[in-house]
A = this chain, B = another copy of it.
Amino acid sequence: MIEYRNLRIAILGGGSVGAQVASLLLEHGDELASRAGAGLELIGVAVRDLDAKRTPPLPRELLTTDPASLILGADIVIELMGGIEPARTLLLDAINSGADIITANKALLATHGPELFDAAEQVGAQLYYEAAVGGAIPIIRPLRDSLAGDRVKRILGIVNGTTNYILDLMEREGASLEDALAKATELGYAEADPTADIEGYDAAQKVSILASLAFHTNVPLEAVHREGITAVTMEQVESARKAGFVVKLLAICERLTDAETGEDGVSARVYPALIPVTHPLAAVHGANNAVFIEAEAAGDLMFYGAGAGGLQTASAVLGDLVSAARRHVIGGPGVAESNHANLPVLPISSITTRYQITLKVADRPGVLAAIASLFSEHGVSVEALTQSAGLGAIDPDATATLVIGTHEATEHALAATVAALKSSEVVRAVVSVLRVEGL
């Protein structure tokens, strides 16, 4: 019988993830202890309601409604309450009482990350958050450890399962956005209020965390450019497919040189974009998540898996718990979160990308030339143009559809082009403007 040093574990939050983590910890305690090199004693689970039904059920004597007292006796505090307060105050107290922290709280990290990392650095505590992005998919640890000797150039992520499920259903079954959302709600992929998912807030929190880590720079949530999927139409999805693309809600961060000022910095943004069907991210179906990393030496890497779910998130939390326990056994200070690069965070106007623009135009001779010169006047180079009907009809009210793919252009030049298109007398409507990524 091996005698381990015993570590005292407190869990804050008894929802689906908290109950799973507690249950796995009780069930597989011996196996986890042998991997961690330390005994892992669950000293309590702080909940709001002692009598709430939990799946899996937890022993009543472990439950408490007093998180503040619970954390005082803990070596490692696992925060699974969600939300900003009281999670923030409790974690700061836990750090200051000498505990290591594990959290899955992306909202808290995206808004108060620096405060928590600073507090942890002051006392030599460590903060683990693998479960905050991509459920059980290892993303934080590969970025922090595996790629520590490399330089990340860009990350393209599908980090929100709800919106990927919706766009995938639109793509594969021709469903409308409304129908796909209703189905997602029915299956429990979308919450009663789906705003955080479909408007891109959830993805923005995650890209703020990924960008901060990948570029060693604090990228605050409010610096993330965010567009949701509510404006995506069946027509866009269909037209994308015909052109060899799929529409995905992408969370993107990259190190780049500002297209206008020449300044080096980091861009972080969330928007629906076209990616080629041959791109590995195009094969990410249903509610799955994937993070595609372009690194200087490692080349292209992709990490794929279920992005959410109580059991999946619990797996990530327990992986962090074993890491935290090993560090406790070894002793000594942890490695502080590194912000040494301290790059400026650039606005969306800094990026250059390709665009696909769909227009309804007057169907008469000379229109193509007028539109082409309008693009070139604004410095946007056209790469491909397809039209659904011949331009040259006699009926002055006839309408043709044009799909225009551009070469790389700045957001500024594109916006000016779109404004000019809108006021052009040959353009009846600007149907869709989508960025193209992954080329």
Contacts and interface: CB of A to CB of B under 8 A. Distances in A.
Nearest to A30: B340
Nearest to A37: B335
B304 A302 contact: yes
A157 to B, nearest CB: 14
B322 A149 contact: yes
A304 B301 contact: yes
Contacts of A194: none
A321 B136 CA distance: 25
A244 interface: no
Interface string A109-136: 0000000000000000000001000011
Contact of A338 (B24, B34, B136, B147): B34
A365 interface: no
A332 B332 contact: yes
Given A141-B141, A319-B149, A298 B302 contact: no
Taking the full assembly, how many copies of this chain does it contain?
2
A302 B299 contact: no
Contact of A305 (B283, B299, B316): B299
Contacts of A135: 298
B148 A323 contact: yes
Interface string A239-283: 000000000000000000000000000000000000000001001
Contact of A142 (B142, B151, B329, B333): B142
A150 interface: yes
Contact of A297 (B146, B311, B320): B311
A280 B303 CA distance: 11
A331 interface: yes
B298 A316 contact: yes
A145 B141 contact: yes
Interface of A: 20, 24, 28, 31-32, 34-37, 130, 135-138, 141-142, 145-151, 216, 280, 283, 295-306, 309, 311-312, 314-323, 326-327, 329-335, 338, 340
6 contacts: A138-B138, A147-B315, A149-B317, A150-B318, A299-B309, A302-B302
